[in-house]
A and B are shown apart, each in its own frame.
Chain A
Amino acid sequence: DQQVKQNSPSLSVQEGRISILNCDYTNSMFDYFLWYKKYPAEGPTFLISISSIKDKNEDGRFTVFLNKSAKHLSLHIVPSQPGDSAVYFCAALWGAQKLVFGQGTRLTINP
């Protein structure tokens, strides 16, 4: 019963191009969505979030889009940089404190 799904385990993008990471969810009760970035041997760190009442949130090179009718969100990184290579987790907040995560997508930025 994976409530948050990231169907692409890996993604490879050329430096300077756009990276698009996708996430689907099943529970319409989620009211906040977040993206976390994880480097090897480190814990996940917060990247960007979006409230369920919005459809877009932008922070520098990072933009998150939310399509509630499709229960889908995506993270756009443009332009992609080598330091963006990491595992990205999509997460949804339930009941104000409980974070439910997806399986993660390993992003590799090629020079």
Chain B
Amino acid sequence: DAGVIQSPRHEVTEMGQEVTLRCKPISGHDYLFWYRQTMMRGLELLIYFNNNVPIDDSGMPEDRFSAKMPNASFSTLKIQPSEPRDSAVYFCASSFRGGYTFGSGTRLTVV
């Protein structure tokens, strides 16, 4: 298994632009999580899905953030419009019976 696959690895965009981060979870995992890593708050949970259904999006910072999981093998996190304070590393993780596996992350820089 290739693990959790995130793309792109790095993204540099201008303020105001739309950004889409992608995640392919491990096959058979029934939970998918989006986290954001910042120096101040560490790893923050943004949203998670169970069997493709969003369960808790209370961590999504603003309406500019949205996430979808159209099927069991794909999820997106979209920021529109992006702002410099969104710059961070975004991680996707999937799990089955409590065993989490993280992707390598997407480093987002908004200038």
Measured CB to CB, the residues of A under 8 A from B are 2, 6, 32, 41-46, 89, 91, 93, 96-104
Contact = CB atoms under 8 A, between A and B. Distances in A.
A32 B48 CA distance: 19
Interface in B69-111: 91, 93, 95, 98-105
Contacts of A6: 42
* Interface bracket on B: 20 to 34
Nearest to B91: A43
Given A93-B98, A99-B45, A101-B45, 8 more contacts: A32-B98, A44-B91, A91-B43, A97-B95, A98-B56, A101-B44, A102-B42, A103-B40
20 contacts: A6-B42, A42-B104, A43-B93, A43-B102, A43-B103, A43-B104, A44-B43, A44-B91, A46-B99, A93-B98, A97-B31, A98-B45, A99-B33, A99-B100, A101-B42, A101-B43, A101-B45, A102-B42, A103-B39, A103-B42
B42 A104 contact: yes
Contacts of B33: 99
B43 A2 contact: no
A54 to B, nearest CB: 16
B99 to A, nearest CB: 8
A21 B38 CA distance: 19
Main secondary structure of the interface of B (DSSP, over half): strand
Nearest to A32: B98
Nearest to A90: B42
Interface in B1-55: 4, 31, 33, 35, 39-45, 48, 50
B41 A2 contact: yes
Given A2-B41, A43-B105, A44-B43, A101 B35 contact: yes
A43 B31 contact: no
Contacts of B56: 98
B42 A46 contact: no
